[in-house]
Every structure is written in C-alpha cells, then in structure tokens.
Chains A and B, each alone.
Chain A
C-alpha cells in the first residue's frame, strides 16, 4: 500500500492547447492526500479535465512537474503507470460488440506483455471487479447495449481490474439518475476505504460536499482553495470559485449549496 502521505503532488503546472496566449493551466500547484476521496471542483472550462489528463500523463505540461507516490511521472514506464493509475473518462464510447466480461478483462493490460492475452488469474480479477460493482449478472451482455448506468459500472470495473493505487474519474455522476449516482458514490467510498486514492472532477458543489473528503477548487487554471471538505466549502470560497453569490445551508451534518436569492 501507499506509504506516502501525498498520493499526487504537482508543482507550478503550465499547460495550453493552442500556444501560450490561451493557457489552460496557469502555475497550478496542489497536493492530494493518499487514500482521500478528492473532488476537483470548478466551473465549466476551468481546466478540470485538462488537469486530470495531465495527472494521468496523457497530456504533457509545458512547465512544472507531476509526482505520483513520490516519484515524477517521467520516471515510470508506461506499464508501471497503467498499474498505478486508472481512468474513468467522462464518456467512453465503446466500439464493437464486446461482452461486459471481455471489456473488463481489457483492464488487465498493464499486467500483460504486448503479445500476451489474459489467463485464468486475470479472469478471476475481472470477475471480482464486476462483482464488487454488483454487476456480475451483466458479464455476458453486450456493453454497447447496456443502459448508461450499467455501462458506467462496467467501465468502473474495467478501471478496477487494473488494481490501481489512484483512480481518476472525470465527472463520474454527470449523466446518471439519482439511484445510479448513489450506487457510484458508495463504490467510490468503498474504494477509498480500501486505500485507493480517488480523484474526481465535478462542477457540482453539492456532489463534492456529499462525497469528497478533500476538495480542490479551481478557477481559470489555478487552485483557489485546497482543504478538507468541511473547511473548504464556505460561502466565500464557493462564491469566488463560481463568480456568483453562493450560500451554504446546513441541515444537521450535511450542507446544501445554492445560489443566494436576491431580496
């Protein structure tokens, strides 16, 4: 298991898609505690997805470093990175007619050579991942024919078959109904409890407040606040992040974030 107190740390990250005139990340530094359930919270276009891709190593920052489990990303081989971090993207269009089990088995890739195919042990891991999602009954079904919620479970199982230390999720609840949101949230909590650092992006402060143990607030490619949820989710911080007046209502242990009504 992870012995470092920080799972991911970045220092002075800069990134842009179309040259330095349109920066997406502007000197971004943050530390994500190991084993936390961290929300990256910010308005649309604040650079959340880009940050996730830079953390994954898929996009290379023009300046700055990303360290995962204490080592710079560049020190890992591609296969090591596949065992270290898994990704659940916002949308993962599934080509062709894979069955759910075939699809989850693809998550074993970082444990196999380029010419190898999965064996019985890999099958066992894949089945366990499906079982952990409560989706074992879907194993022979075609993934493309599943409902959105079921697909999300299969994609999560695919990521878990990688047995990662860090799970990156891009807007994991954006397209799901309430029941499926609840299912995904309880799975995310289970994973964090099992020692996996779960990092997810969201534009919804209520999702962050309800799920996360640690919140990173972003605006225009910079970190405004990074703190444990209770400390981070203040009306002042949220108002600054979203650029509108926000208030936080408390109901017992829980809080509800909404726009402040003009009198």
Chain B
C-alpha cells in the first residue's frame, strides 16, 4: 500500500528543512533571504528572528499540524473523506465571534482571539446539544446535520455583521480575518494556543491506532470491545479543541484539514497508525511553506487562507488525476 519508501524519514527531513529554511526567509534586511552572516552580526536581525519570525514559524507549524490531525480524526470518525476540522460549527463560530468582536468590542487582537475561541466553543457545544435533540438517524448523521445547521446560522450571522460593518475600516478587517493570517503573531499568541493544542494533539496521537477501529461501523466497533460513543467523543473533543485554539489565532484557514489527510493516506496508506503522524508532518510543512510565501512574496501580507486554498487545491488536483490503483 505504501507508495513512498521510508516515508517518515523523507517527511521528517522535509519538515525540518523547511523549518530551518523559514528562519532565513523574509524581507529583512533585503527581500527573500537573510544570510547567516547577517544573523550573526546584526542585532536587529537577531531580535526580529527571535521576536517575530520564530513565534510565527511555530504558530504555522501548530496551525498546520492541528488542522491536518483534526481533519484526519474527523474524516475517520465521520467515515467521510469530505469532512474538515472546521466542521461541527467550529470555524463559522470562530469567524462570527471575530467579526462580532471587531464590530462591538474595541479591544484589539487579543480580544478578537478570545471572542473567536469562545464562539468556536459555542459552535461546537451548539452542534452537540442540537445533535442530541434531533430525532432522526444515527448519532453520526445527527452530528453532521447539527454541524451543518449551526454553521449555516453562524454564516448568516456573519453576513449580517458584514452588512453592518463600516466598509472602510471594519469590513476589511473582518474579511482579512475570515481569510486567515498569521500576521503579527507573538510569543503570547503561541503561549495562548499551547494549553489546548498540546493536550489535544497528544491525545489524538496516542489513540491513533484506535482511530482505525472507531472508523468502523458502530456495531462492529462495539463488537470489538470498544465503547464507540465515549471514545469517539473523546477524540473529537481533543481534535476540535486543538483546531479551535489555532483557528482563533490564525483565522479560518481552509483546505489544510481537508486535503492533507488525503495526501497522507496516499503516501503511507489508510492505517492511522502511520497516516496520522504523516498527516501532521505534511500539514506542518504545508502551512509553513504557505506562510513563508504569505509574508515574503510582496511587501504587504497575502492572506494565508488564499494561499492554502490555491496551493492546496492545485496539489489535490494533481494528486487525484495521477494514475494510481488506489481509492479514497
């Protein structure tokens, strides 16, 4: 099933390579590249790397890993390869929260983040409560339906807020946020993400083989001595907590969580024992590369979500039209 020999060596080296490469990439002192000699001698360059580039690079890694891991978990648990981690009301909730904060709470980026995270949690909780109330279909179908309903409500709310926003000042900020960006990420932002991202990813990583069993039909998973409801809820909560944390800082960055799990399964096979860590490595690398382009290519800042969509969709297309005997 494996199409790549020694996939983890290749993916690991690639990830570390991109990580190191990203440190030297930027627009100081000149566009695109900072020579090692500058980093040794220039005090400003050192400060810039430590205070701006490093937290941003770390944030990009966490973002990519959380979205990719979240995507793998949700696709497997919902047994649906078209699900992405913003599902279940998380991303639309966060976007609504951010817009709400931009419009009504004058508090700067930190307040936007906290409000976004609160509403992401609210979106998830809303989906959960709604799923319990729906009297139709099995638990998975009810969660999917509830997620769609909650997402639609938040999207409608976001539309209203956009309509009300000042088109010169507030609207661009909302649009920029919904496209996603890691612009101006500080160590404080990273520290704020870690308490949710680290436990979330650790739980998902440790339970990665179990994820295979939980991807089976409910009664089969049950017959194999698992408690599917409880174990799936735990994995979902862990994955979504990590995603909510990164999304509240970076905005609604799309496509990573949808595409990276597919790429990973193509490379290492469906077994989550391998597919999940591969997914995290690919997600981290991909988000880093996209963010490198976002902050380097022009003097301003290209919204990250545009690049992940552009490169993600292109890469996905190439992957899908390649002749391989595999499915899914």
What's the nearest-Cβ distance from chain A to residue B176, in Å? 36
* Contact of A56 with B216 at beta-carbon distance under 8 Å, contacts A96-B265, A115-B210, A140-B1 already known: no
The 0/1 profile, CB within 8 Å of B marked 1, for residues 77-105 of chain A is 01111110111010011011111001000
- Taking a contact as CB atoms under 8 Å apart, the answer to whether A107 and B206 are in contact is no
Question: How long is the Cα–Cα vector from A140 to B325 in the complex, in angstroms?
Answer: 13
- Contacting A87 at CB < 8 Å: which of B1, B210, B220, B325? B220
- Taking a contact as CB atoms under 8 Å apart, the answer to whether B217 and A116 are in contact is no
Chain B neighbourhood of A58, CB < 8 A: 218-219, 222-223
**For window 192-228 of chain B, which residues contact chain A by CB distance below 8 Å?**
206-210, 212-213, 215-220, 222-227
Interface size classification for chain B: 20 to 34
- Taking a contact as CB atoms under 8 Å apart, the answer to whether B326 and A142 are in contact is yes
Chain A neighbourhood of B1, CB < 8 A: 97, 99, 102, 140, 142
Chain B neighbourhood of A109, CB < 8 A: 210, 213, 224-226
A228 interface residue, CB < 8 Å from B? no
B188 interface residue, CB < 8 Å from A? no
Chain A neighbourhood of B210, CB < 8 A: 109, 114-115
What's the nearest-Cβ distance from chain B to residue A114, in Å? 6
Chain B neighbourhood of A95, CB < 8 A: 76, 79, 215-216, 328
- Taking a contact as CB atoms under 8 Å apart, the answer to whether B217 and A93 are in contact is yes
Among B16-24, B63-71, B124-132, B269-277, the one that faces the other chain is B269-277
What's the nearest-Cβ distance from chain B to residue A130, in Å? 16
The 0/1 profile, CB within 8 Å of A marked 1, for residues 287-328 of chain B is 000000000000000000000000000000000000001111
- Taking a contact as CB atoms under 8 Å apart, the answer to whether B207 and A114 are in contact is yes
Question: How long is the Cα–Cα vector from A97 to B79 in the complex, in angstroms?
Answer: 12
Chain B neighbourhood of A123, CB < 8 A: none
Chain B neighbourhood of A80, CB < 8 A: 225
Chain A neighbourhood of B328, CB < 8 A: 95-97, 144
A23 interface residue, CB < 8 Å from B? no
**For window 1-32 of chain B, which residues contact chain A by CB distance below 8 Å?**
1
Chain A neighbourhood of B216, CB < 8 A: 92, 95, 106
The tally of residues in A whose CB lies under 8 Å from a CB in B reads 39
- Taking a contact as CB atoms under 8 Å apart, the answer to whether A98 and B222 are in contact is no
Question: How long is the Cα–Cα vector from A106 to B223 in the complex, in angstroms?
Answer: 11
Question: How long is the Cα–Cα vector from A131 to B269 in the complex, in angstroms?
Answer: 23
Chain A neighbourhood of B224, CB < 8 A: 82, 86, 106-107, 109-110, 162
The 0/1 profile, CB within 8 Å of B marked 1, for residues 179-199 of chain A is 000000000000000000000
- Contacting B209 at CB < 8 Å: which of A53, A57, A86, A118? A118
What's the nearest-Cβ distance from chain A to residue B144, in Å? 15
- Taking a contact as CB atoms under 8 Å apart, the answer to whether B212 and A56 are in contact is no
B231 interface residue, CB < 8 Å from A? yes
- Taking a contact as CB atoms under 8 Å apart, the answer to whether A114 and B225 are in contact is no
Q: Please list the residues of chain B having a beta carbon within 8 angstroms of any beta carbon in chain A.
A: 1, 76, 79, 81, 206-210, 212-213, 215-220, 222-227, 231, 265, 269-271, 273, 325-328
Q: Please list the residues of chain A having a beta carbon within 8 angstroms of any beta carbon in chain B.
A: 53, 56-58, 78-83, 85-87, 89, 92-93, 95-99, 102, 106-107, 109-110, 112, 114-118, 140, 142, 144-145, 159, 162, 168
Subset of 8 A-B contacts with CB under 8 Å: A56-B222, A80-B225, A82-B226, A89-B217, A97-B1, A98-B212, A106-B216, A162-B224
